[in-house]
Structure formats: structure tokens, C-alpha cells
Amino acid sequence: MNFFTRWVVDFAYFLNTSEAYQHKKRFVYDILENDKYQYKRYFDIFMITLIFLSVAILIAEVKSEMNIYLKILNVYIISFIFFIEYLLRFWISSSVSEIIINKSEHATALGREFYLYRALINAMKTKLIFVFSFKAIIDLLAILPFFHELRLLRLFVLFRVFKLFRYTKSFQTFTSVLSTKKFEFFILLMFSSIVIFVSSVLIYVMEAHNPKSPINTLFDAVYWSVVTIATVGYGDIVPVTMEGRTVAIFVIIAGVSLLAFTTSIVVSAFTEKLDEIREIKTIDNIRKLKHFYLICGYQNVAQEVVKKLKDSKISIIVLDEDIHRIENAKKDGLIAVNYDPGDIESYKKLGIDINVQVKSILCLRESDIENVYTTLTVRSISKDVNIISLLMDDANRNKLKFAGANEILYPKGIVGMISKELIGRPVAFEVIHALRNDYYGVDVEEILVDDRMSQNILYVSELNNSKFRVILLGIYKKDTKRFFFNPLESTLLESGDYLLAIGNSAFMREFEKHLHKKIRK
Amino acid sequence: MKNRAALIFGYNDYALEIAKNVTYEYENVYLYSLNSEQDILRNRSCFEVKSFDLSDKWDDLNENIDIENSIAFCVLEDSAENIFLTISLRSSFVNLNIIALSNNKQTANKLQMAGANKVIPLVQTTAEMISEMLQKPIVKDVFHKILFESGALKIAQVKVNESNCYIGNSVSDIDWSKRYGIVVLAIVNEDMSSEFIYSSKVKHHIVSKDDMYIVVGYETDIKEFEKMTGSTCD
């Protein structure tokens, strides 16, 4: 290996291991290509705005003299931004350093000599694949208006509109759906080309010699054929001879059937892909959510939980591998995805950040095996997310705990405990039950003592809860995780504490407002 | 002599959980099974398993059980059978306290119509607990401890007797929490209609004999309060 080759390989290693370089490249990739990256949306919106601005300036320029600044913006600044974007896309399209390293390591492993030029040719090939890709060509054409002196090139501004394909997902979906019917469209294209060719030649032969006929050239004939086959029929060119009109009848019939064929292909493409499109849209919506509860398994308990949580500001997402249960969830107005909650791939496909987006995961299948499996899967992805699971058989409690469930609900045990209360303190039980379920308009609330509140209300005696006919059941101290029942008036309120208050819902709201508004004099 | 007993109809996990939880109150706990032969054989619990069928005339119960002071739990897994059992028991024993388990709202309504004194809606109750865990975890924790766990904080039903010094006073004039260290949640009138302490109706309520107070507090404070009121139901 000569000095230059060694230097290039060393430099490739340097780039590949440089955290700063890789971080920057990753950032550029995220902003340009990664749909999951939260700031990509803003970049896309910025580029779309530039595109529309550019086209608007072009239109305005047609009939009036354009302001010099707008001209500079359109011709130089926007073009320059697109040029930079093109270069960045070229940069991230492949990694030259990685190709060099791979080739070098491959040669070393096989004991062969490493030829730098071969690695560079390989790298060039991958770059050329990018350069000749449809989207990259559009990008390049969109930069051409930079050469403003060539007036014709100004029309290349319109290529900027095609750049919208990059930034709007619906366009991409549309093209991806249509691309599934490539073969049918090819057949259609061949058929229409043959019809246009044959009818153009025929109409030219039949009409061109007639001085009354408007068809004088082959171009007139092709134009007439295309207009007729497309069922547009402007009427500016019409056949005048009997033979020409006979050709027209066949072209019209062919045109109608062609149109029907095209429509059916497009419709069938969308029908076949509809579920997939909906799923993509659903997943996209899920990714945008800041917080949500993830319900794994939509059976009886899950359905009731959803009813209870319907007034909550936090969204609910349902995952279930059973399509019927997913349909039920959708009927209940929920965002539901037909993925197996026990499969790690499901979460990868969803592309969500469990630690940040998911408030709690509820394993509500009526099968301990499924719940243990789901709990284990989720726990393997996130150590911190709160998992609540249903337990059907008490013998499996340890398994669920071991799998990592934070809270376990055993309905049979609940029945036993309720029975005990119902025979011991039935009235007290009913009262608590009514309180917890907001019957009679009476509410139990957890009121968070925030920084501002703790600065303005120092002691329990300053709460003034009795004025609002609200009872302070106690204070939950977050730092010690202890509940202080019926606290003394001298108890200090600290930020992060929770007040457990009971009272009429309307009074409770007033009380909360009072707590937030109160200012210490 | 007739026995005071807890009669649990159905041999399943629910029945066994109920049996475990009611033994402190009822010396005699009987599990009744529709498939008694099979269930008696597999019974590993300390409770006696007896047989019954839905066409029973309940002669055995009539002869041996003090119906008025007993309680029946209907926990058959089949909803239709559970409703039929409830109606059958009610038609035979007007004064029997019947608690039935339901899997859904529709069954709960039917069980109530069939004569159950109290229906435990299993799915709804579980869902309520889950939603409370998510939305009000501290409330859930505190109430769970008060109701179901043997912690220091208790809930009690305290009845006012004629010797009470507060009889004739307005409820809103008395600061129970300062004086006795307890929190009064609700007052149940003589006609058994309960009113929460914070309702406007209670504000003008005058303490009277046979009022029942639902209070939360530490055991010693509740005992003090009970001494003052005269008696306790708990």
C-alpha cells in the first residue's frame, strides 16, 4: 500500500469513527430523510413554502416587471438553498469512507493487495445511482433556474413543483399505490400507443388529400387522435370524409374503453392498498401523539376501561392481533392497530418512543400467558414504562411480577375483598364507591402543589378549603411517598405534594382556581 | 338449631375468594356446586362443598339455616343460570341477603330485577380500578388501603344514640376533624338515604338520634368518636 492509499484509508477510518462527523451526518440524514424525526416536518414545510413562493414569483413575472429583491430571492437564494440541499442529499446517499474501509478490510482478510481506485469506482457507482435517480434528477432540474440568463431555463422553476413529491407523503403514497399496477399501466400504454399510431396514420391517409379537411400534416392527425382517444374532443379538428369519420367511430369507442380501463386500474389499485394506506396513516398519527395509554388486547375489561377513560385528555391506542377485536375498537372510536402486542416487531413498526410517549401500558388480555408474554416484550424494550396487567389465575401472579408488571389486578381477588366489605361495612363501602365514581356530583381530586402554589400557600391553614366546603382528606408527600391523613394546620406545603380533597365538583373547581390564583401578600 | 351461614353458590375461583374473605364474619361457610361429585373430589379448600340443582326447593336450607341472618352469594359462571338461581332464592326467601356477581351491565340489571340485594359488576369494577390507577393513583392507593388493607387508617359506620351531646346541633357548626381527628364523609339518615357531608342538604342537617356517620380516621380517634356518639355499627 503506497503512502497516498494509506493516507486515504486512514482518513476513511478517521471519518468513520469521528463522533462529530457521524453526528452531523446523522442529523442531516434525519432532517432530510427520516420521517420519524420530529423536526423533519418543519424542514419539509419550509421547502414546500419555498417551492410555492418560487412558482408564485414565476407566475407574477409573466405579465409584470418583478421587484429586484424577489428576483434575487427566486433566482439566487432559493436556487442556492436547493443546491445546498442537493449536495447534502448527495453526501448522505452513501458513505464513501465505509466503502473504502470495507474494500480495504476485505483485501486484508483475503491477503490480496488493496487497490484504492477500485474502491473509489465502487463509491462513484453508488453516488451515480443517486445522481440518476428520478428524485435526484428533479432536484437538479429545480436548481437550473439559477442560470437565469437562459430564459428558457426559467421554466425549470416548474420542476420545483415536482420536488413536492419529496416533502408530501400523500404524493408518495399516491405514486406507490399506482406503481403496484405497473404491468397494467404498461399494457394500457402499449394499447393506447398502437391505437393512436394506427388511427393517426389512417386519418392522415384518409383526410390529408381532401382540401376541405383541416388535417393537413401528420402532427394534425396525431393531435386529433390523442384528443379523440382521451374523449376530450375539442372540435377544432374534425374529419370530413366518410372514411375519416369511420376511423373516428373506432377511435371514440377505443377511447371510452381505454378510459374505463384506466379508471378501473386506479380504483382497484387503491382498493387493494386501502387497508395498507389506512394503517400507514394510523401509525403516522400515533407517532405524532405526545402521550397515550397503550392497551394491549381489546376484550371486555379493556372495553370498560376505555369507557372510563373517555373523558381523559390522554389518547388511547389499542394493539391486538385479532382483527375482529381491532374492528370493535375502531367502532368504539379508538385508534387501533392490528399488531401482536407480544411481538417486538410491532413496536418497531409503530416507531414510537415508549419511554416518552406511552404513559402506561395496559395488558388486558383475559389470558395470563398472553399478558406475561406482552409484559416481558414491553419490559425488554423499556425498563421504566408503567405496566398494568390483568391477572386471571392467582397462581401466575409471580410470573407476571417477574416479567416486570408494575401493578397487577386480580378480578377474583377484588370480588373477595368487596364481599368482605359488603358484609362488614356495607354503607361505608357504598359511600366510598360513590365517591370514587363521582356519583351525586361529589368528587375526590388529587391536586398537585406546584412551585407557584407552594410559594403562595405555605401551610395547610392557608388553604381555606372549608370556605369552599371542600374536605382535605390528607396530603401525599411525594419525596417520602407517605400519606398524611387529616394534616395539622401547621403542616408545611411543599412543591410536588398532592392534596387529596373531597367536595362537590363545582366547589372543587372553584377551590382549585383559588389555589392557583392565590398570591401571598 | 338453625345456623347463621354464608352460602356461596358456584364452585370456582370467585367462590373460593369470597369464602376466604367472609370466614371472619361467618362461622359456617358452605360452597354449593352444580357438579358436586366432581367438585367434592377436587376440593382442596377447608370449606364444605354441598350439592344443589337449579330446580331445588331449598328444603335443606329452610331446615338448617337461619335465613334472615345469613347471606347468599350467587357466583355461577353461566349468567342465565346465575339469574335463575337468584330468582329461585328470592322467591323462596324474601329476607335473605343476596349478593350476585355479574359479567356485564345487562346481566347486572337482570340480577337486580331477579331480586339480588347487591350486584358486583365484575368487569366494570375492574375497569374502574384500572382507570383510577391511571388517573388518580393516590386516591386509589389511599382508598384501597382504607377499605381493603389492615393499615392504621380505617373507615367506620358510627351510629348516633340518644345520649349524644351534639343532638340538636347543626352539622356545619361542628368541626369533627379538629375535635376528634376524624373526617366525616357522609351522613346516613334514618330512612337510609345517604348524603355526603359537603352537600348543601347536609349543611342544614341537625344531628339527630339514629343518624349514621361514615367516618375515616385512625383507630384510636374513631374509638374516641364512637364513645362520644354512643355506639358503633362496625
pLDDT at B233: 45
Contact at CB, A412 and B17, closer than 8 angstroms: yes
Share of chain A above pLDDT 70, in %: 96
A354, A378, A413 - which closes a domain: A413
**Residue B141 included in any domain:** no
How far away is chain A from the Cα of B218, in angstroms, using its nearest Cα?
9
Cβ contact, residue pair B126, A446, below 8 Å: no
Residues B119 and B11 in one domain: yes
Same domain, A197 and A269: yes
**Domain CATH for B217:** 3.30.70.1450
Q: Do the beta carbons of residue A337 and residue A319 sit within 8 Å?
A: yes
Does pLDDT of A408 surpass 90? Answer: yes
A410: closest chain B residue by CA? B126
Three-class secondary structure of residue B78 per DSSP? coil
Mean pLDDT along residues B90-102: 90
B8 contacts B31 by C-beta, under 8 angstroms: yes
Nearest chain B residue to A424 by CA distance is B234
Q: Of B147, B177, B234, which is closest to A432 when you measure between CB atoms?
A: B147
B24 and A431 in contact by Cβ < 8 A? Answer: no
* Closest chain A residue to B101, measured at CA: A415
Mean pLDDT of A11-26: 90
| pLDDT, position B234 | 45
Whether the per-residue pLDDT at A416 is higher than 70: the answer is yes
Range of the domain at B117: 5-126
Name the DSSP letter for residue A431.
H
pLDDT above 80 for A476:
yes
Residues of chain A in contact with residue B13, where contact means CB-CB under 8 angstroms, are: 393-394, 412
B12 and B80 inside one domain: yes
CATH of the domain at A191: 1.10.287.70
| Calpha distance A323→A346 (Å, rounded) | 15
Q: What is the mean pLDDT of residues A240-247?
A: 90
Statement to judge: residues A221 and A294 lie in one domain:
no
| Among A370-374, A438-442, B146-150, the least confident range | A438-442
With CB atoms and an 8 Å threshold, state whether B155 touches A486.
no
Handedness of CA A213, A218, A220, A223 (dihedral sign): positive
The residues in A 377-396 lying below 8 A from B, measured between CB atoms, are 388, 390, 393-394
Which residue did the predictor score with more confidence, A409 or A140?
Answer: A409
Partner-chain contact A414 B129, CB within 8 Å: yes
Would you say residue B201 has pLDDT above 70? no
Nearest C-alpha of chain A: how many angstroms from B113?
19
**What average pLDDT score do residues A236-259 get?**
91
Q: How far is CA A320 from CA A100, A285, A360, A367, A374, in A?
A: 46, 18, 16, 13, 11
| pLDDT tens digits along A41-68 | 888 889 888 888 888 887 887 777 778 8
- Looking at the structure, tell me whether residues B69 and B19 fall in a common domain: yes
Residue B17 lies in a domain: yes
Kindly state whether residue A427 falls inside one of the protein's structural domains: no
| B183 → closest Cβ in A364, A428, A473 | A473
* Pair A67, A157 in one domain: yes
CB contact under 8 Å between B138 and A483, yes or no, is yes
* Nearest residue of A to residue B26, measured between CA atoms: A423
More confident residue, B230 or A219: A219
The yes-or-no verdict on residue A373 having pLDDT over 70 is: yes
Residue B196 has pLDDT above 70, yes or no: no
pLDDT-derived band at A202 (thresholds 50, 70, 90) equals very high
Per-residue confidence (pLDDT) for residue B86, from 0 to 100: 92
What CATH number does residue B112 fall under? 3.40.50.720
pLDDT of residue A374: 95
Q: Is A366 near chain B, with CB under 8 Å?
A: no
* More confident: B196 or A172: A172
Domain boundary among A353, A383, A413: A413
* pLDDT tens profile A142-189: 777 665 554 555 566 667 777 777 777 777 778 888 888 889 999 999
**A461 and chain B in contact, CB less than 8 A:** no
A-interface mutation test, from B106, B130, B219, most A Cβ less than 10 A away: B130
Is the Cβ of A467 closer than 8 Å to some Cβ of chain B? no
Would A489 be classed as within a structural domain?
Answer: yes
Minimal Cα distance from B202: which residue of A? A469
Mean pLDDT, residues A103-117 taken together: 85
Interatomic CA distance for residues B107 and B86, integer angstroms: 12
> Do the Cβ atoms of B135 and A440 come within 8 Å?
no
Is B22's CB within 8 Å of A423's CB?
A: yes
Q: Is A483 on the interface with B (CB under 8 A)?
A: yes
Q: Does the pLDDT value for residue B194 go beyond 60? A: no
A503 in reach of chain B (CB within 8 A): yes
Q: Sort strands B212-218 and B153-159 into parallel, antiparallel or unpaired.
A: antiparallel
Coil, strand or helix: which one is A293? strand
Q: Is A431 on the interface with B (CB under 8 A)?
A: yes
Specify the higher pLDDT residue, B5 or A317. Answer: A317
Q: What local confidence, expressed as pLDDT, does residue B102 receive? A: 92
Query: Are A10 and A141 contained in the same domain?
Result: yes
Look at residue A80 in the predicted model and tell me its pLDDT: 87
β-pairing verdict for A358-363 and A292-296: parallel
Identify which has the larger pLDDT, B63 or A379. A379
Domain span at residue A268 reads 182-274
- Over residues A466-483, mean pLDDT: 83
B98 plus B153 within the same structural domain: no
Inside any domain, residue B135: no
pLDDT above 90 covers a percentage of chain B that reads 15
Q: Is the pLDDT higher at B193 or at A288? A: A288
Chain B contact present for A304, CB below 8 A: yes
Percent of chain A surpassing pLDDT 90: 33
The whole-number pLDDT of residue A248 equals 92
Question: Mean per-residue pLDDT for A106-131?
Answer: 88
Looking at the fold, whether A229 and A316 belong to one and the same domain comes out as no
| pLDDT of A69 above 60 | yes
Is B136 inside any structural domain?
no
- Indicate if A151 and A224 belong to the same structural domain: no
pLDDT tens figures, B210-234: 778 888 888 888 888 887 776 544 4
Is A504 an interface residue toward B (CB < 8 Å)? yes
Nearest to A400 by CA among A412, A387, A413: A387
Label the pairing between strands B97-102 and B71-74. Answer: parallel
Interface check B176 vs A, CB under 8 A: no
| A162-176, A244-258, A500-514, B61-75, range with greatest mean pLDDT | A244-258
Most confident of A184-188, A434-438, B158-162: A184-188
> Cβ A498–B26 below 8 Å, yes or no?
no
Give how many domains chain B has, as a whole number: 2
Looking at B126, B157, B178, the residue that finishes a domain is: B126
Residues A101 and A9 in one domain: yes
Would B234 be classed as within a structural domain?
no
- Here the cell at position A358 is 406511552
- Is residue B75 less than 8 Å (CB to CB) from chain A? yes
Min Cα separation B183/chain A (Å): 7
Residue A133 has pLDDT above 80, yes or no: yes
Q: For B138-150, what is each residue's pLDDT tens digit?
A: 888 888 888 777 6
Q: Does B130 touch chain A (CB under 8 A)?
A: yes
Residue A253 maps to a domain: yes
Domain boundary among B59, B94, B126: B126
The residue length of chain B stands at 234
How many Å apart are CA A164 and CA A146, to the nearest integer?
A: 19
The predicted complex's ipTM stands at: 0.84
The domain total for chain A is 4
Residue of chain B minimizing CA distance to A446: B136
| Residue of chain A minimizing CA distance to B158 | A428
Taking the Cβ of residue A488 and every Cβ of chain B, the question of whether any pair is shorter than 8 Å is answered with no
Decide if A422 is inside a domain. no
Question: Per the domain annotation, does A391 fall within a domain?
Answer: yes
Cell of A133: 435517480
Long-range residue pairs from B28-34, CB within 8 A, at least 24 positions apart, any chain = B28/B3, B28/B4, B29/B5, B30/B5, B30/B6, B32/B7, B32/B8, B34/B10, B34/B76, B34/B81
Same domain, A36 and A127: yes
